[in-house]
Amino acid sequence: MTNLLSRFLAVLADDDGTSPAAGLDDDGYDLWLRYLPLAATRRTAVGTSATALLVGSESPILKSARSELEKALFAMLLARVPVRFARTEHDGAVQPGSILLGTPQSLPVLANLDLPLATLGKDGYVVRSMSVQGVAVTIIAANEDVGVLYGCFAFLRHIQTGGAPAEIDLVSSPRLALRLLNHWDNLDGSIERGYAGFSIWDWWTLPDHADARYTDYARANASIGINGTVLNNVNAVPDVLASSFLVKVARLADIFRPYGIRVFLSVNFASPAALGGLPTVDPLDAEVRDWWQRKADEIYALIPDFGGFLVKANSEGQPGPNDTGHSHADGANMIADALMPHGGTLIWRTFVYASDALVDRAAEALDAFKPLDGAFRRNVILQVKNGPIDFQPREPFSPIFGQVTKTPVMMEVQITKEYLGQATHLVYLGPAFEEVLQFDTYAAGKGTSLSRILTGEVFAPTVTGMAGVANIGTDRAWTGGVFNQANWYVFGRLAWDPDMSSRRIAEEWVKMSFGCIEALVRPVVDMMMQSHETLVNYMMPYGLHHQFATGHHYGPGPWISDLTRPEWNPTYYNRADRHGIGFDRTRTGSDAVAQYAPELAALFADPHAFDEKYLLWFHHVPWDFQMTSGKTLWTSLVEKYDLGLDQVRTMREIWQNVRPHVDARRFAQVAAFLAIQEREAQWWRDASIAYFQQVSGLPTPEGHAPPPHPLDHYKALHFPYAPGHPH
């Protein structure tokens, strides 16, 4: 990936062992895999522990692992590390400083070592400094080749983040089986909720031409443990299952396979009618079932390791089994039956809601799927959004987690920041993901974190997983902004281990992306860790949600009330009037709290018992409601808006202070984006206060500036070409 000249020029930087080569422009393409030259002291230490690679075989995956090590070590050490193959125990003595790379089957010398491989499964790895044949070496071992690949990236991460090369002892295996990126990419190259350019899949030139970026994409995903990719939008068009497209999919699968990544496809439930000309899509109809079986057979003939299908059905206009009077289980099982002989997985999304204004949208998914619990085939997994609404800046967890217990469930989060400032706002999602993963569901008593449900510790599902809606596009830096890369990175690391600290992950990313200088790492990590709460403060504090402008979700629109579906209107959620604000989900309102475990429901139902950051999610309270601070809700609300704006200004100061340690190009982009973020935080603050002040009739609290314009000014703002949304 990295420009070779830049690697060599970087060696001229100060010899402190942690040089970020700040004087060099970096366009962000290399992500966290920069592999810049180490300064002399580090170069000597690492070089002593990496004198040669001893490899067992040349399988496609081991070849990828060896290639990554060769490339990285050459870049960091400025010297080529020789490779030797030892397919038997008699292929030569182990040399001091060698890196032994393989499985006990491919590299027999590993079979005689006391390595804890038995509990690591196929993806786990051991990376360890130890003595073999009386000499010091580094072992990168696993039960299967893909584990070796993950171990190689773990070894390189250890070096990149300043770890001692002779003191490595890493033992890890993923706690979730499916670790998927969901691309909302359309076949015409556009991306729904995409803020980083167009789709990287050039369907027009596939399969004949394969962009080198496809391989770099696979490398980046493998480096953080992602093992599957859903190539197309959940709002799928039937054409993706046409034979002419399947050969294109097969070409991508061939490129991804050496990195342990399987492809999945989002499919349209009505495909048998649209592609096959059938008069019905009834899931119990024999011809429909046969069509899906033949289509699955065709796909697996092209792609033997095809992962399976993802389906969005009977949601937001997408067809589904309800259209013919059948249940979600009927529809899912029909497609799952077609995949089962091939070992494929059917992922069925639970994101469903109707347009009845009398039904709380937050409660509809569980109402639809709890009665079907246990009715799905064993190769079906339900994909559940982290919260009960739609990737809001803050939501409680979806009640499906802990209430659907006989059917496997996986969590879906959104890496692309549809509702979090899109590409330009600096918002590190690690704390937000961690908040929901560590939420105590009480599903099996106090201490039942959501992460324990996902990993199968509580209900023992047949398959486990986590999915993230990708933020990747043709932008040279992949994600439309430097810090957006951190959200791709943290998703992969948490999908590997949902209990990992988001701060630790942020530290890894900063060190790998910018360098290990403490004067850079500490303030930038602190800024990242605060950034999500900052956004919540200036957008939607205290549990407010879905207060966005229509369609593109760019900017505030808490006054909007005229959309055709009631649950698309921000006023549906804020319920602001002369008397108060918030959505009553207690027994006096929608009673959605009853969907949670009784102990948690009781906490949610008491406005004084649970964390105030969820107050307006569960309660409609008067404007003079007394907060724990002793101040009224109205005063506290305005204080939060102002606090968020002040925190963005502090972020700008922090970034200016680390300027000496960051290359000019990336520094300039982040600085420009932070300026945009401050301007838009001011907009969110002013527009929100203007609206809530009008409906409440309350004056601006003392010590806080009133909005500079009347409400009509903010209502008149119009953005027809905002990105990420069809027009």
pLDDT tens digits for 466-503?
999 999 999 999 999 999 999 999 999 999 999 999 99
Got the DSSP string for 573-615?
HH---SSEES---STTTT-GGGGS-HHHHHHHH-TTTS-GGGH
User: Are residues 125 and 188 located together in one domain of the fold?
Assistant: no
- Token duo for residue 277: 């000309």
pLDDT in tens, 116-139: 999 999 999 999 999 999 999 999
- Token duo for residue 32: 């966290």
User: Are residues 500 and 544 located together in one domain of the fold?
Assistant: no
User: Are residues 236 and 186 located together in one domain of the fold?
Assistant: yes
Say if 532 falls within a structural domain.
Answer: no
CATH number of domain containing 456: 3.20.20.80
pTM reported for the whole predicted model: 0.97
Q: What integer pLDDT is reported at residue 303 of this predicted model?
A: 98
Say if 530 falls within a structural domain.
Answer: no
CA neighbours closer than 13 Å in the CB half-sphere of residue 434: 18
From the candidates 14, 316, 518, 577, give the one annotated as an active-site residue.
316
User: Are residues 156 and 271 located together in one domain of the fold?
Assistant: no
Final residue of a structural domain among 139, 172, 205: 172
User: Are residues 349 and 449 located together in one domain of the fold?
Assistant: yes
User: Are residues 216 and 131 located together in one domain of the fold?
Assistant: no
Final residue of a structural domain among 135, 155, 172: 172
At position 526, the amino acid (one-letter code) is D
User: Are residues 545 and 420 located together in one domain of the fold?
Assistant: no
User: Are residues 490 and 556 located together in one domain of the fold?
Assistant: no
Q: What integer pLDDT is reported at residue 3 of this predicted model?
A: 52
Q: What integer pLDDT is reported at residue 93 of this predicted model?
A: 79
Identify how many contiguous H helices and E strands the chain contains and give both numbers.
Answer: 22, 16
Which regions in the chain score pLDDT beneath 70? Answer: 1-23, 87-92, 726-727
Q: How far apart are CA 636 and CA 393, in angstroms?
A: 19
Q: What integer pLDDT is reported at residue 356 of this predicted model?
A: 82
User: Are residues 333 and 420 located together in one domain of the fold?
Assistant: yes
Q: How far apart are CA 140 and CA 123, in angstroms?
A: 13
From the candidates 26, 123, 330, 390, give the one annotated as an active-site residue.
390
Q: Give the CA distances from residue 555 to residues 61, 419, 422, 500, 551, in Å, rounded to whole numbers and listed in that order.
A: 45, 9, 10, 33, 11
- 360 is a catalytic site residue: no
Q: What integer pLDDT is reported at residue 57 of this predicted model?
A: 85
Q: What integer pLDDT is reported at residue 91 of this predicted model?
A: 66
- Token duo for residue 260: 């342990």
CA neighbours closer than 13 Å in the CB half-sphere of residue 567: 17
User: Are residues 190 and 204 located together in one domain of the fold?
Assistant: yes
- 418 is a catalytic site residue: yes
CATH number of domain containing 152: 3.30.379.10
Say if 531 falls within a structural domain.
Answer: no
User: Are residues 13 and 98 located together in one domain of the fold?
Assistant: yes
Rg of the Cα atoms in the chain: 26
Q: What integer pLDDT is reported at residue 6 of this predicted model?
A: 52
From the candidates 418, 567, 584, 680, give the one annotated as an active-site residue.
418
Beta strand 380-385 with 83-85 is unpaired
User: Are residues 208 and 223 located together in one domain of the fold?
Assistant: yes
Q: How far apart are CA 689 and CA 695, in angstroms?
A: 10
Range of the domain at 103: 4-172
Q: What integer pLDDT is reported at residue 725 of this predicted model?
A: 76
Say if 595 falls within a structural domain.
Answer: no
Final residue of a structural domain among 106, 139, 172: 172
The count of structural domains within the chain is: 3
Say if 487 falls within a structural domain.
Answer: yes
- 287 is a catalytic site residue: no
Q: Give the CA distances from residue 683 to residues 126, 141, 201, 554, 671, in Å, rounded to whole numbers and listed in that order.
A: 51, 53, 36, 11, 19
CATH number of domain containing 665: 3.90.1330.10
